[in-house]
Structure 1
Amino acid sequence: MGSKMKKILACCCGIALMASLAGCGGAKDKAGNAPAQEKKLVIYTARENPVTELVIPKFKQKYPDYDVQVMTMGAQQILERVRAEKNNPQADFWWGGTQAALMTAAKEGLLEAYKPTFADKIPAMYKDSQDRWYGEMLLPEVIMYNDKALKKEDLPKDWDDLLDPKYKGQIIIRGVLPSGTMRTIYSAMIYRQDPNNPQKGYDWLAKLDANTKEYATDPATLYIKLTREEGKLSLWNLQDVLLQREKHGRPLNFALPASGVPILVDGVGIIKGAKHSEAAKKFYEFLFDEQLQIELAHKTYQIPTRTDISKDKMPDWYKGLNLKPLNIDWLVLAEKEKEWMQYWDQNIKGKGAK
């Protein structure tokens, strides 16, 4: 072989080797190991704006080089999106998911196992046994009402009172299927009747539907309609009621049903196959920081799951809160929620008022 041909072959081999090395480097980038990849964080969240607007700037202040992108949607919509993107995840961190949704996601292999440094501060009932999700806060589900339109003595005293014909046309409900909160409340009402015979719960929801004036497309619409007295009552979570009342001056208040309330565990998790997993872990640890959790309790009315936060550091509304939880098997609720809610949507919604 001539020297010229040898030089050509050597050059080709060199180019092939460089391409191979570059390909290996590219593979690392795609796996999220390159520093440039870790400077971005994509979050899917069901949190309200007052919460994200408090937390995200603080995170950016601590990690100024990170490009943080936040997409807000309903908790159930997050599950559906993460499920659809399973083979090519577009987000890294799931912030704000119902216990049922996170259990479902974990079962479907949509969440990455990660044991955070605060793991032993969260009770076993508020986290996944395989560290695929952790509850960040507790969300008591309550009766929300316009306290200018309804006096306390005219309020429902318990869940069953909502079925009284005197409340017909006064109830506005947030659209159920896209909302993790509403799916949990409605599933809890079915479970409360008889978890082994959902028909009893369906009958109960049919009576509630008969009293329901309309289903609001989103939380903002729900708040506006209640403020305008287009309706007087709803079912919603305690945190958002307090936020709307204290931060936005809406005439909204809450009542605690005598038999107890579903206490939703609202949690977080790292999405399986996240392209920016290290950034997600940093946000995980940041979000559960004790001082931040105390601040969120004072400013956004969150009830933390951490057991090591002194009650003396918590706000007065928290100290005076006397919650009676409904006895619910959340594993059963997670397993049955989809079936129950599909039946409600196809057979009950909008039919009772006719």
Structure 2
Amino acid sequence: MKKKITVALLTAAISLSLVACSNKENVSKNEKLEDTVVVYTTHKEEMLEAISDEFTKETGINVEFINLKGELADRVRSEKDNPQADVMFGGDTSTYMQLKEEGLYEKTEPQWKDELDKSFKDSEGYWYGTIKTPVMMFYNKDLLSADKAPKDWSDLTKEEYKDLIVTRDSLSSSMRSTVCALIENNIKTKNEDAAWKYLTDLDKNIKNYYNSGSVMYSAIGKGEAAISIAVLSDIIDNKENNKMPLEIVDAESGSVVITDCVAALKNAPHPNAAAKFVDFVGSAKVQAMIANDFNRIPTLDSALKDSPAWMATDYKAMDVDWDVIGKNQSKWIEKWETDIIDNNKVEKQ
């Protein structure tokens, strides 16, 4: 039986002897697959449960997933000399680039790797993108008319938007990636001082930072603020399923497009099961399942054609150098958290 375990119980949990399911008809006899795979992740539990169930059905391998949110990379780093997990699933390209340089991943060769566009994978086979995640500005059209709404990221610092903006806090991986992309873009087009001035001015206009996406959307719905930033799939979900009056902004300088990735960890306790999980979770079948059931945009074209029509939405992507972000992300986020964010605005749930 597959179980979800907390971080606090991780060490004890993985030391237990787990008995795998017996259904391994789809597994080659030449593979010596372990009975368990431990996955560190940032993805929502409902999606992880669905993926884990299908993986166990297909392979007989038990899945233990541990959701680490904004602590994923730090956890993997801290266990470099004694890995406690097999797979890292979730997190952006820049994080994977950095951890690859630190020697934390094992090469894998999933069956679908050649189909994947080179912009969504490591050239040496250390990590692969499985989900495209555009991060976009949006607003409550009952509170703000289209002509008064922001047209680009630079508009968010205008005085007219003071206390009209709410966002996620630094525990959100998409928010951290967006902040880093905005820093990199400002440095590239202006200079580093301009980048930090932009974030300082933005903080002045932000009414609250939330560590819960649902609470943030609730604030928008209740009219506590008119403008926010979120991944496109969540905006679509709240607009269509929760009937919220939201309007998406196709930013003039482009929206930040994050690629959520997967990688097998070096010296993992269950290396063969790890490689099998990477192969499974990025397959067209699973990407299409995630697209239809959880509104996540595939990186494989063969999965995209079987996905909801809105995923073909045309939007401008910001020109971002994820390699530069990977090299600077830690110090940039630390400075943002310690020197920029007004902690009095951080709403704890």
* TM-score normalised over the length of structure 2: 0.82
Say yes or no: does 1:345 pair with 2:345.
Answer: no
Tell me the residue number matched to 1:189: 182
Say yes or no: does 1:304 pair with 2:298.
Answer: yes
Aligned-CA RMSD value: 2.5
Aligned-residue offset at 1:153: 3.7
Aligned-residue offset at 1:252: 4.7
Aligned-residue offset at 1:326: 1.2
Tell me the residue number matched to 1:25: none
Tell me the residue number matched to 2:55: 59
What percent identity do the matched residue pairs reach? 30
Aligned-residue offset at 1:253: 4.8
CA distance in 2, matches of 1:80, 1:147: 39
Contact residue 170 and residue 233 of structure 1 kept, 8 A? yes
* Structure 1 segments unaligned to the other structure (5+ residues): 1-28, 30-34
Contact residue 43 and residue 68 of structure 1 kept, 8 A? yes
1:88-237 pair list within 5 angstroms: 88-176=82-170, 178-195=171-188, 197-237=191-231
Question: Which one of the candidate residues 50, 67, 74 is aligned to 1:72?
Answer: 67
Contact residue 41 and residue 279 of structure 1 kept, 8 A? yes
Tell me the residue number matched to 2:3: none
Aligned-residue offset at 1:67: 2.4
Tell me the residue number matched to 1:40: 36
Question: Which one of the candidate residues 316, 326, 341 is aligned to 1:334?
Answer: 326
Letter aligned with residue 88 of structure 1: N
Tell me the residue number matched to 1:9: none
With over 3 angstroms needed to count, the CA separation of the structure-2 counterparts of 1:310 and 1:208, relative to structure 1, is closer
CA distance in 2, matches of 1:250, 1:338: 35
Aligned-residue offset at 1:36: 10
Bigger fraction of residues in helix? 1
Letter aligned with residue 131 of structure 1: G
1:260-293, CA deviations, whole angstroms, 9 ceiling, x for partnerless residues? 1121111010111211122222221211221222
| SS of structure 2 residue aligned to 1:240 | helix
| SS of structure 2 residue aligned to 1:267 | strand
Contact residue 191 and residue 328 of structure 1 kept, 8 A? yes
| SS of structure 1 residue aligned to 2:91 | strand
Aligned-residue offset at 1:184: 1.4
Contact residue 123 and residue 307 of structure 1 kept, 8 A? no
Letter aligned with residue 65 of structure 2: V
CA distance in 1, matches of 2:344, 2:50: 42
| SS of structure 2 residue aligned to 1:152 | coil
Q: Which has the larger displacement, 202-211 or 222-231?
A: 222-231
Aligned-residue offset at 1:140: 1.0
Question: Which one of the candidate residues 242, 264, 280 is aligned to 1:286?
Answer: 280
Tell me the residue number matched to 1:24: none
Letter aligned with residue 330 of structure 1: W
Contact residue 171 and residue 231 of structure 1 kept, 8 A? yes
Contact residue 210 and residue 352 of structure 1 kept, 8 A? no
Q: How many residues align?
A: 315
Aligned-residue offset at 1:301: 2.2
CA distance in 1, matches of 2:226, 2:42: 25
Aligned-residue offset at 1:109: 1.2
Tell me the residue number matched to 1:270: 264
* TM-score normalised over the length of structure 1: 0.81
Provide runs of 4+ in structure 1 moved above 6 Å: none
Question: Which one of the candidate residues 293, 300, 316 is aligned to 1:324?
Answer: 316
